[in-house]
Amino acid sequence: MAGHDAHHYRTEDGTGLPHDPLNAIIGPRPIGWISSISADGVPNLAPYSFFNAFNYRPAIIGFSSIGWKDTVANVDATGEFVWNLATAALATKMNETSASLPAEDDEFAAGGLTAVPSSTVAPPRVLESPVNFECRLTQLTQLRDLDGEDVPTWLVLGQVVAVHIDRHLLVDGVYDTAKARPILRAGGPAAYAEITPDAMFDMTRPDDRG
């Protein structure tokens, strides 16, 4: 029975395992494929494996960056960013944008992707991505540990102010999650998952039952 034969450890002592299982257990996770632009107008594109939605109305999404990277610096300077949906068809190109490049280099070009203007914010969108959320910064917070010490990780939250959705993903006006074939970050150094139609199932919440 689950829980009767458990590997147990205190996190302060280490996992005792070949690889920390945290991001494999809390996964797969949506990918924060974030485009931003510097105060000098240099575009940037990078994927973040710690990403999610946090509120409906207003729509607030967020990602965390381990380290003060170009994306965080750009968002801090301009107050804007764009989230782009990473799909199976774009997996290889998305992965190329994770390379550590000098701040003046263009990850759109490195990934063979097309930067197109957004409608309400300065950072460009990924044309090839079927969904884009244009966002304005609401909070930028450095994380802290139990001792109140700063952790070198920053949580970026932004309000979605404009949305672009490829029309073929709207079936009778309803967004079809699996049709986009989104990819998600799983555990270990290289594991990903893909959402396909056969992975989907429906379950009605108790309060919504007639």
Residue 74, by phi and psi: left (phi above 0), alpha (psi -120 to 50) or beta?
Answer: alpha
**Domain tally for the chain?**
1
Residue range of the domain that includes 110: 26-201
- Assess if residue 13 is contained within a domain: no
- Assess if residue 11 is contained within a domain: no
- Assess if residue 207 is contained within a domain: no
Global pTM reads 0.93
- Assess if residue 69 is contained within a domain: yes
Q: What is the pLDDT along the chain (210 residues), one digit of tens a residue?
A: 565 789 999 999 999 998 888 888 888 999 999 999 999 999 999 999 999 999 999 999 999 999 999 999 999 999 999 999 999 999 999 999 998 888 778 899 989 999 999 999 999 999 999 999 999 999 999 999 999 999 999 999 999 999 999 999 999 999 999 999 999 999 877 899 999 999 999 999 898 887
- 188, 197, 195: which is closest to 86 by C-alpha? 195
- 183, 191, 153: which is closest to 19 by C-alpha? 191
Query: Whole-angstrom Cα distance, residue 63 to residue 50?
Result: 6
- Assess if residue 5 is contained within a domain: no
- Assess if residue 18 is contained within a domain: no
The single-letter code of the amino acid at 17 is L
Position 2 scores a pLDDT of 60
CATH number, position 139:
2.30.110.10
- Assess if residue 159 is contained within a domain: yes
- 20, 41, 38, 53: which is closest to 163 by C-alpha? 53
